[in-house]
């Protein structure tokens, strides 16, 4: 009986993909800012789920406002017009944390 268990375990292991080929140990790639910033702006402006809008507003702060000046305009608009107080608060926090500090903020 133990022999059958051993054979079954070995057959199962042989049928399973190796963890390295399954992508478990791959390094996460950073998003490309030229693609990610417009995506986040779209989320913060149009997404119905307020938690996704909050996350998008939070993530926008990690991008350079001098390279992507639309970040400032969108966060300022969200700060003034969004229906959710948590989204407005995150927009204000993101504006305050944008680096480098710019005159527009």
Q: What is the pLDDT of residue 39?
A: 96
> In the prediction, which pLDDT does 30 show?
85
Q: How confident is the model at residue 21, as a pLDDT?
A: 52
Reported as a single tens digit per residue, the pLDDT across 68-80 is 999 999 999 999 9
Q: Per-residue pLDDT tens for 55-101?
A: 999 999 999 988 999 999 999 999 999 999 999 999 999 999 987 66
The answer to whether residue 103 scores a pLDDT higher than 70 is: no
Residues in contact with 75: Cβ distance below 8 Å, sequence separation at least 6, in sequence order: 44, 57, 60, 91, 94, 95
pLDDT of residue 13: 62
Give per-residue pLDDT as tens, 3-32.
776 677 666 766 666 554 555 666 778 889
- Domain spans, the chain: 33-97
């Amino acid at each position: 009986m133990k022999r059958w268990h051993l054979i079954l375990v070995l057959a199962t292991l042989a049928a399973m993909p190796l963890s390295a080929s399954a992508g478990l140990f791959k390094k996460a790639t950073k998003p490309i800012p030229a693609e990610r910033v417009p995506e986040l702006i779209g989320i913060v402006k149009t997404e119905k789920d307020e938690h996704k809008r909050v996350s998008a507003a939070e993530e926008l702060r990690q991008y350079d406002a001098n390279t992507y000046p639309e970040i400032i305009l969108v966060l300022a608009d969200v700060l003034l017009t969004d229906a959710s107080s948590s989204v407005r608060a995150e927009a204000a926090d993101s504006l305050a944390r944008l680096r480098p500090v710019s005159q527009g903020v």
